[in-house]
Amino acid sequence: MGVQRANGASLLRALVVVCALCWALSSRCAEGQNSNGQLSVNASPQNARKIPDKMFGIFFEEINHAGAGGLWAELVSNRGFEAGGPNTPSNIDPWLIIGDESSIIVGTDRTSCFERNPVALRMEVLCASKKTNACPSGGVGVYNPGYWGMNIEKGKVYKVSLHIRSSDTVSLTVSLTSSDGLQKLAAHTITGSKKTFAKWTKIEFHLRSNQNNTNSRLQLTTSKSGVVWLDQVSVMPMDTYMGHGFRKDLASMLANLKPQFLKFPGGNYAMGNYLRNAFRWSETVGPWEERPGHFNDAWGYWTDDGLGFFEFLQLAEDLGASPVWVVNDGASLNEEVSTKTIASLVKDVVNGIEFARGGPKTTWGSVRASMGHPESFKLDYVSIGNQECWMLYYRGNYQKFYSAIKSAYPDINIISSCDRPTISPSNPADLYDVHVYTSLTNMFSKTSMFDNTPRGAPKAIVSEYAVTGNDAGKGTLVAALAEAAFLIGLERNSDVVEMASCAPLFVNDNDRRWSPDAIVFNSWQHYGCPNYWMLHFFKESSGATLHPTAIQISNYDQLLASAITWQNAKDRSTYLRIKVVNFGNQAVDLNISIAELPTGIKKSGSKQMVLTSSSPLDENSFQQPEKVVPVLSPMVNVGQQMGASVGPYSLTSFDLLLEPSKHDSI
């Protein structure tokens, strides 16, 4: 994923798009008439083709605080005090001090018990409980506001972990409070003798909140003089998705898409602007306290790497998706490792595959087993780099990675960052990566992007696509429709396109580095943008049967359609789904003709789903999270010859419930 740059041309283009859409809407009102068209579907099994099983999935990048402060449910930001760097004393942001310099001095030093993250917080408390030098009411200490406020819910339980060392006896109150500290939601006091905390000691306990507060903070306070060191302070909700640490509401949004693969940990994030800040898988596994964390210089914030390699593999497993690992191939945005010195990085990637797939007694498989997952993860895809085929050493380095991985794991599918014409027996690949970021009108036209691609291997993974720039706003209906048209083109060309996923997936509304995004959230709210809801029309396409379609309509080229046969896994019912994208300003009355259907259509049980709104520029928001969402309704008068209407600027699916057949048509 690359960095967007606004310029005069993009602003002008945005104005043109807005004017065109406004004209289209007024034109539609003036006409007041529908166009008429013919949609033909050939449902013959002989003319059908199976769509790849993993056709539609999701791509996660640590951008917009998607993971740290988002999908990963940890509430404390900079929990290990490492974000300020190894030189101490350092910045402890976002931690802040309760008290002033007359009562407490707070800084960092390198006294931690953790070798890979040596920085700890040192609190020198100058006041005491005595009247002559009394601490302020409530004590002094530090607090952490989390990621723009912690969402604390009444009755919910939160696991608190921290490490403490002290030169004196300890009486430290750990509490969850309102943002101003005045409202106490839950509290626990840690006490101990000088001997108890003379060495670093881990303390764990649970807090149950007695109130709701969406903008809370964690406080650690004391009224006892002396020096206290703190490190690796964590607050984790006990109620997470499948108990694995993922924020339940956000992970459920992903599960509802039925993704067939999860590509991670990102593009630029995997590379880093500089190699020292690239994602290093081995530093993100093992006990969370021992992970050093790193600065995400591609997107400008610190991550504690609580969401690490293991957690990504676990998330893929929880979602029933195949993991697709993007590895650092020795390149950052500004640096490269030469092919002559790439061997250690190649070995590191092979070790990472062993971590995922190796037995519990292998060197790296044992590390995974110690984390509670003795069974191997099913890692079948590895992507070498992030669209840097143009760099000096990429092809030489790629061949080193390819040879080493195939030698150790011949069944793994290796994805190249180079385009299809560069793939050859001397530069082999199982798949090649394609990124498509463009304007909404150009995205609509890219429905034919793969029409003339030579058939046969290697196939494409379109791992990043989106309507971008001012054309897309923060996620408009019309941008989602353009992307839907593009996906219909991918369905039609799924004999040369194996997989596809949009980007970016998430944005924390407090740190919007990129627009648009599929899912928007803050500490306690979330909503799907129109392009998120558009994906629901395609979530049954993976592994389905694709049927040829044809549209005939005079003087109107804004309609696209596809047809699939799919089976409901819950009740084994079979449906013929016809999807129609109307990217223009005219409503269209369609005469739908279905030929050579092996079985009949039931008189009841068919459904219609429509994604549209009053304006093509409509967006969802926290205030109106369901302004643009699919509307489901039953269908009547269905048959192999039937009439149906599709509104302007809309995505419509007709799910026709089929009669049972002796032969499975999927």
Q: How do residues 132-147 score in pLDDT, each as one tens digit?
A: 889 999 999 999 999 9
Residue 16 has pLDDT above 60, yes or no: no
pLDDT of residue 2: 53
Q: Which residues pair with 634 in a beta bridge?
A: 607
Indicate if the alpha-carbon torsion angle 349, 351, 352, 356 is positive or negative.
Answer: positive
Q: What is the pLDDT of residues 181-228, one digit of tens each?
A: 999 999 999 999 999 999 999 999 999 999 999 999 999 999 999 999
Model pLDDT, residue 131: 76
Positive/negative CA dihedral, 401, 405, 410, 412: negative
The answer to whether the CB of 549 falls within 8 A of the CB of 565 is: no
pLDDT for residue 29: 40
Least confident of 471-480, 537-546, 657-666: 657-666
Return d(Cα 95, Cα 84) in angstroms, integer.
11
Number of neighbouring beta carbons within 10 Å of residue 322: 22
Alpha-carbon distance of 387 to 119, in angstroms, equals: 36
**Chain centre distance of CA 225:** 46
Tokens 């600065």 identify what position? Answer: 295
Domain annotation for the chain: domains and CATH numbers: 35-53+543-657 (2.60.40.1180), 57-73+240-536 (3.20.20.80), 96-237 (2.60.120.260)
Amino acid 340: pLDDT: 97
At 467, is the pLDDT very low, low, confident or very high (cuts 50, 70, 90)?
very high
Phi, psi of 205 (to 5 degrees): -160, 170
Cβ atoms of residues 589 and 552 within 8 Å: no
364 and 354 in contact (C-beta within 8 Å)? yes
Residue with tokens 């520029």: 617
Q: What is the pLDDT of residue 663?
A: 57
Q: What is the pLDDT of residue 132?
A: 80
What 3-state DSSP class applies to 362?
coil
Which three-class secondary structure string do you get for 398-428? HHHHHHHHHHHCCCCEEEECCCHHHCECCEC
Instruction: Write down the pLDDT at residue 662.
Output: 67
Alpha-carbon distance of 30 to 24, in angstroms, equals 10
Confidence (pLDDT) at 26? 42
Structure tokens given for 242: 């499948």
pLDDT one-digit tens code per residue, 582-593? 999 999 999 999
C-beta of residue 245 within 8 angstroms of C-beta of residue 72:
yes
Least confident window among 15-24, 213-222, 611-620, 639-648: 15-24
* Chain position carrying tokens 């250690």: 344
Q: Classify residue 430 by burial, with Cβ atoms within 10 Å: 0-12, 13-18, 19+.
A: buried
pLDDT confidence band for 180 (50 / 70 / 90): very high
* pLDDT tens by residue, 223-245: 999 999 999 999 999 999 999 99
Using alpha carbons, select from 354, 325, 355, 329 the residue that is nearest to residue 261.
325
Is residue 58 within 8 Å of residue 539, measured between CB atoms?
A: no
Q: Give bridge partners of residue 216 from the DSSP assignment.
A: 150, 178
CB 66 within 8 Å of CB 526: no
Residue type, 580: V
Q: What is the mean pLDDT of the chain?
A: 94
pTM for this entry: 0.94
Quick check: 401 and 430 in contact, CB under 8 A? Answer: no
Closest CA to 45 of 659, 594, 597: 597
Distance CA 176, CA 236 (A): 12
Mean pLDDT of 112-139: 93
Strand order in the sheet with 549-553: 549-553, 35-42, 588-595, 641-646
SS3 content of the chain, % helix, strand, coil (to 5): 20, 35, 45
- Can you give the pLDDT at residue 34? 84
Indicate the SS3 state at residue 232. strand
- In this prediction, residue 24 has a pLDDT band, given cuts at 50, 70 and 90, of very low
> What mean pLDDT do residues 148-155 have?
98
Helix (H, G, I), strand (E, B) or coil at 87: coil
Structure token pair of residue 617:
């520029």
Quick check: helix, strand or coil at residue 23? helix
Buried b (16+ CB within 10 A) or exposed e, 403-426: ebbeeebeebbbbbbbebeebeee
Taking Cα atoms as reference points, which of 85, 401, 14, 73 lies closest to residue 241? 73
Distance in angstroms (rounded) separating the CA atoms of residues 529 and 503: 12
Output the furthest CA–CA distance in the chain (Å, rounded). 94
Please state the three-class secondary structure of 386-397 as a single string: CCCCCCCCHHHH
Query: With helix as H, strand as E and coil as C, how does 176-226 read?
Result: EEECCCCCEEEEEEEEECCCCCCCCEEEEEEEECCCCEEEEEEEEEECCCE
- Give 19's pLDDT tier (boundaries 50, 70, 90): very low
Strand partners, 192: 170
pLDDT confidence bin for 470, thresholds 50/70/90 = confident
Pairing mode, strands 431-438 and 413-416: parallel
- Sign, CA torsion 123/124/130/132: negative
pLDDT above 70 (res 664): no
Structure tokens at 509: 């509304």
User: Angle at which helices 394-408 and 343-357 pack, to 10 degrees?
Assistant: 40
- Percentage, residues of the chain above pLDDT 70: 94
d(CA 65, CA 69): 6
414-425 pLDDT, tens digit per residue, is 999 999 999 999
471: confidence class by pLDDT, cuts 50, 70, 90: confident
Please compute the mean of the pLDDT values over residues 563-572 and round it to a whole number.
94
% pLDDT > 90, the chain: 91
> Could you tell me which residues are beta bridge partners of residue 142?
97, 220
